[in-house]
Amino acid sequence: MKKHAIIPIFIPHRGCPNDCVFCNQKAITARQANVTPADVRRIIETYLPTLTGRGLETIETAFFGGSFTGIPMEEQSAFLAVAREYKRKGLIHKIHMSTRPDYINEAILDNLREYEADIIELGVQSFDPAVLEASNRGHSVEDVYRACDLIKDYGFELGIQLMIGLPGDSLESCLYSARETVRMAPSIARLYPTIVLNDTELCAMYRRGEYTPLTTDEAVDITKEMYRIIAAAGIRIIRVGLKSTDLINDSDSDQNQTVGHTYHPAFRQLVEGQIAREELEAQLLELLGSYEDENAADGTRRVSFFSNGNSFSNMIGNARRNKEYFVQKYPEIRIAFQRDDSLGDMVFIAKAD
Ligand code: SF4
């Protein structure tokens, strides 16, 4: 059962002075109505009846949109006051927001503490200074370390968002970012492959031949290695890849149209499915290496793969690709895919029958 639920509230950063190459928020927010504290109340009231009584451990109100702490302090306070009211009534449990590393300082954190905020997610994107520069993030990697330390010193929960495949990025710099994320010890992380959206500087770079988007397969390969590093440190990875609804919040235009082939609606399952395949194949090869053919009297070796129910679809793979992979690559082995709910999430076991 899902233990956590988020009530997402999109607060556009109107007048954002930055020009991140991948961003189309400015074009979108220019056409959006202002969000008011009354809207925050309405959104919470709309979500709450759908969430209560479902045995959820935590319900969070989360202010997304990139740079919550970049908006004027009195506006932050007005939004937070509504969320705090629901938290004090016990109807929500945590207040959560995302922001940029250079919009964190003592005054901002004092205010967030005053309004009983809990989780601050930083859009770090990369720990590689060259990638931050090439993506025109407008802040340094020192800003990232300073913000992470300050957030933790204040006792807030830290979240880190990373992007994969930004200009100047490589497998090595992505792995470095994953390792630095572990060193910063956030409690949650998100991994977003870079998507080229229409009418962004990144799209112009792509059309000028200055930027090549990752293919879906390349993005999966890099993201799975980052996922392994971060998950092994016990950090909860709450999102891998954009949801389709992240791309269609501006239905009046083609602004959200993607260019290239990085986007996949089931990106997380591709990543987790690939991890499942590699872990099972390594165990399978070990089993085959030590296989005495006593259970192959009929010439068919039998092996069972196990996962719990939550991870079963990852074991089978998106569009059954893992199942087909094993059938085609190991036609001499009869493989059964079985459920074992005594296993943890993302634990995959191969056993000879
Ligand atoms: S991604 Fe960059 S440009 Fe876009 S809203 Fe956030 S800070 Fe501003």
Q: How far, CA to CA in Å, does 12 sit from each of 17, 26, 101, 161? A: 13, 8, 17, 18
Ligand 1 geometric centre to CA of 137 (Å) = 8
Residue 104: helix, strand or coil by DSSP?
coil
pLDDT digits (tens, 9 = 90+) for 122-146: 999 999 999 999 999 999 999 999 9
Q: What is the mean pLDDT of the chain?
A: 91
Residue 52 pLDDT: 78
Beta carbon of 67 within 6 Å of any ligand 1 atom: yes
Q: Which residue has the higher pLDDT, 261 or 179?
A: 179
Residue 199 pLDDT: 82
Q: What is the DSSP string of 234-271?
A: T-EEEEES--HHHH-S-TTSSTT-EESS---TTHHHHH
Beta carbon of 139 within 6 Å of any ligand 1 atom: no
Residue 248 pLDDT: 45
Dihedral-angle region of residue 136 (phi above 0 means left; psi in -120 to 50 means alpha; beta otherwise): left
Residues in the chain, overall count: 353
pLDDT digits (tens, 9 = 90+) for 200-218: 999 999 999 999 999 999 9
Residue 237 pLDDT: 97
Rounded to whole angstroms, the Cα distance separating 251 from 255 reads 8
Ligand 1 geometric centre to CA of 236 (Å) = 25
pLDDT digits (tens, 9 = 90+) for 16-38: 889 999 998 766 665 667 889 99
The alpha carbons of the chain give a radius of gyration, in whole angstroms, of 22
**Which two three-digit tokens encode residue 267?**
């990106």
For residue 298, name the pLDDT band (cuts at 50, 70, 90).
low
Residue 29 pLDDT: 63
Q: Which fold has domain 4-264?
A: TIM Barrel (3.20.20)
Q: Rounded mean pLDDT of 254-258?
A: 60
Ligand 1 geometric centre to CA of 235 (Å) = 25
Question: Where do the domains of the chain lie?
Answer: 4-264, 273-352
- The pTM of the full predicted model, rounded to 2 decimals, is 0.92
Beta bridge pairs of residue 59: 5
Residue 218 pLDDT: 96
Beta carbon of 69 within 6 Å of any ligand 1 atom: no
For residue 319, name the pLDDT band (cuts at 50, 70, 90).
very high
Beta carbon of 101 within 6 Å of any ligand 1 atom: no
- Atom nearest to 100 CA in ligand 1: 7
- Atom nearest to 13 CA in ligand 1: 5
- Atom nearest to 16 CA in ligand 1: 8
- Atom nearest to 19 CA in ligand 1: 3
